[in-house]
Amino acid sequence: MQIISSHLYFCCPNRKRSIKPDGWFKMQIPCSPQRVKSIAFLRRPQDCKFLMQNTRLFSVPNTNDGHPSVSKLEDSNTNHSPNSEVESLLHHWSPPRFLWRGLSVLVIAGQVLVRILTGKIHWRNTLQQLERVGPKSLGVCLLTSAFVGMAFTIQFVREFTRLGLSRSVGGVLALAFARELSPVVTSIVVAGRIGSAFAAELGTMQVSEQTDTLRVLGTNPVDYLVTPRVIAASVALPFLTLMCFIVGMASSGFLADAVYGVSINIILDSARRALKPWDIISAMIKSQVFGAIISIVSCAWGVTTMGGAKGVGESTTSSVVISLVGIFIADFVLSYFFFQGVGDSLKNCV
Q: Is the pLDDT of residue 25 over 50?
A: no
**Residues contacting residue 224 through CB under 8 Å, at least 6 positions apart:** 122, 125, 214
8 DSSP β-pair partners: 39, 52
- Structure confidence by residue, pLDDT tens digits, 84-97: 555 565 566 666 66
- Structure confidence by residue, pLDDT tens digits, 217-246: 888 888 889 999 999 999 999 999 999 999
Residue 330 · residue 230 · CB < 8 Å:
no
Cα-to-chain-centroid distance, residue 266 = 48
**Residues contacting residue 169 through CB under 8 Å, at least 6 positions apart:** 153, 156, 157, 160, 161, 256, 262, 266, 267, 270
Q: What is the DSSP letter of 7?
A: -
Helix (H) or strand (E) segment spanning residue 58: strand 57-61
Higher-confidence position of 1 and 186: 186
Residue 347's pLDDT is what? 67
- Structure confidence by residue, pLDDT tens digits, 85-141: 555 655 666 666 667 777 888 888 899 999 899 888 888 999 999 999 988 999 999
Cα–Cα dist 322/329, whole Å: 11
Residue 88's pLDDT is what? 61
Count of CB atoms situated within 10 Å of the CB of 206: 20
* Region label for 257, one of left (φ > 0), alpha (ψ between -120 and 50) or beta (otherwise): alpha
Residue 210's pLDDT is what? 86
